[in-house]
Amino acid sequence: MRLLGIETSCDETGIAIYDDERGLLSHALYSQVKLHADYGGVVPELASRDHVRKIVPLVREAVANAGLRPEELDGIAYTAGPGLVGALLVGACVGRSLAFAWNIPAVAVHHMEGHLLAPMLEDTPPPFPFVALLVSGGHTMLVRVDGIGQYQALGESIDDAAGEAFDKTAKLMGLDYPGGPLLAKLAEKGFAGRFTFPRPMCDRPGLDFSFSGLKTFAANTIAAEGDDDQTRADIARAFEDAVVDTLAIKCRRALKQTGLNRLVIAGGVSANRHLRAQLAAMMANLGGEVYYPRNEFCTDNGAMIAYAGLQRLKAGETQPLTVKCQPRWPLDSLKAPGAA
């Protein structure tokens, strides 16, 4: 079974084709980073318009690169939420319309389920059950995963997500958009220990996150101390250390709470090298295993949507002609594929 996946939840247009026997056949991605850079963040209306311009050419590219004709596809999956409603509607309407025109079924996919299942695209996928840390610009949450569609939310951010805090702190330091990766690169030049940032909500029980106060602490430190390049690098290092330590502490708690010894990290921030190194060391110490998607599948992409959609289509799930997008959509509201 071959499925075309469409991802348009924010500022990246991702198209991919996944075959349940041969794996990933093709994927194409267009990033809108340059479009939004002048504004210091994503402008929803511009994002929607750019998806309109890019989506059909990318579909053609992905189909051609897979060596297929449209009639050889068995279905189409598209992201239906959460995300920017205008951007979601572009992908949903195009995906559902192509499915109707090609007389094949369509299936709506939860964006975060796509991220959660992205490590399944690798040669060594994680076996169920496991704890997943979903960490990106829009979401930071811990989830117990017992199978596809069997999700229990353990904790989430009550304000800024980790990636959002990275980007906002980078902007305070005058770094270009998107600032998160640039802040992480600057942190590599910083010295550990010169500044000590708080580890928010780690001094109390529970698995929720809060990064807004950490961003404010960084802003005050930048205003008071950040007047030369090395100091700014040291502040970036202190900020990154605080975020990574906080995520690691909460992951350890979640593993202890659930009694599991497998950890999956997915989402854009999962590409952070410091985070990967610290979690790998932690899991080695615990005698457990940690799994990641490759870097190109950490950020938004069509491959993860194609894979997630295929699992649901194989169980008989399809989308009617009416298109429904959900900008807010709790992950643990999903059911296992085929469940009533």
Domain stops at, among 277, 292, 307: 292
Q: Are residues 190 and 245 in the same domain?
A: yes
Model confidence over 282-295: pLDDT tens digits? 999 999 999 999 99
Residues 317 and 338: their CA atoms lie apart, in Å, by 6
Residues 129 and 124: their CA atoms lie apart, in Å, by 15
Q: State percent of the chain over pLDDT 70.
A: 100
Q: Are residues 93 and 151 in the same domain?
A: no
Confidence (pLDDT) at 24: 98
| pTM given for the model | 0.95
Residues 312 and 278: their CA atoms lie apart, in Å, by 34
Confidence (pLDDT) at 196: 93
Binding site for substrate, residues? Answer: 134-138, 167, 180, 272
Confidence (pLDDT) at 227: 79
Answer yes or no: is 339 within a domain: no
Q: Are residues 286 and 301 in the same domain?
A: no
Model confidence over 12-48: pLDDT tens digits? 999 999 999 999 999 999 999 999 998 989 999 999 9
Q: Are residues 87 and 181 in the same domain?
A: no
Model confidence over 187-232: pLDDT tens digits? 999 999 999 999 999 999 999 999 999 999 999 999 998 779 999 9
Answer yes or no: is 272 within a domain: yes
* Burial class (CB within 10 angstroms; exposed 0-12, middle 13-18, buried 19+) of 288: middle
Confidence (pLDDT) at 138: 86
Binding site for Fe cation, residues? Answer: 111, 115, 300
Q: Are residues 310 and 284 in the same domain?
A: no
Answer yes or no: is 122 within a domain: no
Q: Are residues 14 and 51 in the same domain?
A: yes
Given a cut of 70, whether residue 264 has pLDDT beyond it is yes
Q: Are residues 214 and 262 in the same domain?
A: yes
Q: Are residues 263 and 135 in the same domain?
A: yes
Model confidence over 113-131: pLDDT tens digits? 999 999 999 999 999 999 9
Q: Are residues 311 and 254 in the same domain?
A: no
Note down the domain range covering 14. 2-117+297-333
What is the average pLDDT value for the chain, to the nearest integer?
A: 96
* Burial class (CB within 10 angstroms; exposed 0-12, middle 13-18, buried 19+) of 69: exposed
What is the dihedral sign for C-alpha 63, 67, 71, 72?
negative
Confidence (pLDDT) at 340: 60
Q: Are residues 276 and 245 in the same domain?
A: yes
Q: Are residues 270 and 309 in the same domain?
A: no
Given a cut of 70, whether residue 304 has pLDDT beyond it is yes
Q: How many domains does the chain have?
A: 2
Neighbours of 148 (CB within 10 A): 19
Answer yes or no: is 279 within a domain: yes
CATH of the domain at 225: 3.30.420.40
Confidence (pLDDT) at 137: 83
Binding site, residues? Answer: 111, 115, 134-138, 167, 180, 272, 300
Q: Are residues 260 and 140 in the same domain?
A: yes
Model confidence over 55-74: pLDDT tens digits? 999 999 999 999 999 999 99
